Structure 1
Amino acid sequence: MNYDGTLDWMLDEALGMPETLHAVLLTRDGLLRAHSQGITRDEAERQAAALCGVVSISRNTAGFCGYAEDEASPPWRQTLIEFDDAFVLAIAAGEGSYLAVSASERVDLEACSFRMQQLVERLGKAMTSPSRQGAGNPA
């Protein structure tokens, strides 16, 4: 799936609350699907790749919470990264997609998470990204 910018405006809408900074929509393998204004495409692609790793690590810690290691899809819902003066929230956004938002330390985290969930519900299938077929196979 290639980046085409068609969902960018919806991410801008998600940032319509105070203290949010940037938003990116990415696939499970780190490809950029969309990004908000105010972040360049190159930076959004770099963040998408990094956030893919963060979500993967988060999902793989399910055993630490008592879930079976062989469970096909651990019940991960959200990851929060906290800095001295900023946050990053990442949530599931359909099969194979994730939505991440950065915000200042003054953001209402509960409201931000709720707004992100609303956006995911509204987009539904538009944010679903199937697994890449033939990845790693010679053509």
Structure 2
Amino acid sequence: MSNRDLSWLMDQLRDETAGVLHVLLLAEDGLRSAKDQTLGVDSADKMAAICSGMANLGAGAGDELDGGALRSVVVDLERKQLVIMAAGRGSVLGVLAEADADLALVATAMVQMIERLADHLGVAPRAAQSPAS
């Protein structure tokens, strides 16, 4: 199963978890892997960049503060919540939820998806390309 085949799971997480607006799977570097059907491509790319940046900040904090590997980052905004979780080797799961969504319920649904699909969520490292001569 490739990440391309996982969009239906993004829809399922969105549809079955109260308060969830959008679900996005991405590589740590911000490349979008799968998204729910209601999230437009431009919005998904912007959300991927935000999730990637926040995940990298969290991972950096773990390194600098001797806190260990990143598990999750929560951005609690006035009208929305953004929950970002490490989701396998090199990938991140991001969920945008309503401000009044039950964060424990959202996080539990995310963890269950990640655990169930751990083998399929990893992103293989991309090889560096040599500059053209």
Measured after TM superposition, the shift of residue 122 of structure 1 is: 1.3
Separation (CA, whole Å) in 2 of partners of 1:59 and 1:26: 16
Measured after TM superposition, the shift of residue 138 of structure 1 is: 2.0
- What are the superposed Cα offsets for residues 100-134 of structure 1, whole Å, 9 maximum, x if unpaired? 00101121101110100000111122111021112
1:5–1:35 contact (8 Å) kept in structure 2: no
Measured after TM superposition, the shift of residue 24 of structure 1 is: 0.5
| Partner amino acid, structure 1, of 2:5 | T
- What are the superposed Cα offsets for residues 66-112 of structure 1, whole Å, 9 maximum, x if unpaired? 407xxxxx321000001112100000110000000010112110111
TM-score by length of 1: 0.86
Mind listing any 5+ residue stretches in structure 2 that lack a counterpart?
none
After TM superposition, the structure 1 = structure 2 runs for residues 1-139 of structure 1, keeping only pairs within 5 Å, are 5-15=4-14, 16-63=16-63, 66-67=65-66, 74-135=68-129, 137-138=130-131
SS at match of 2:5: coil
| Partner amino acid, structure 2, of 1:21 | L
| Partner amino acid, structure 2, of 1:23 | V
Separation (CA, whole Å) in 1 of partners of 2:106 and 2:49: 22
Matched residue pairs, number? 130
Large movers: runs of 4+ above 2 Å? none
| Partner amino acid, structure 2, of 1:81 | V
Measured after TM superposition, the shift of residue 4 of structure 1 is: 7.0
Separation (CA, whole Å) in 1 of partners of 2:42 and 2:120: 23
Indicate the percent of aligned positions where both proteins have the same amino acid.
28
Mind listing any 5+ residue stretches in structure 1 that lack a counterpart?
69-73
Cα RMSD for the two superposed structures: 1.8
SS at match of 2:37: coil
Which of the two has greater helix per residue?
2
| Partner amino acid, structure 1, of 2:117 | L
The equivalent residue for 1:71 is none
SS at match of 1:88: strand
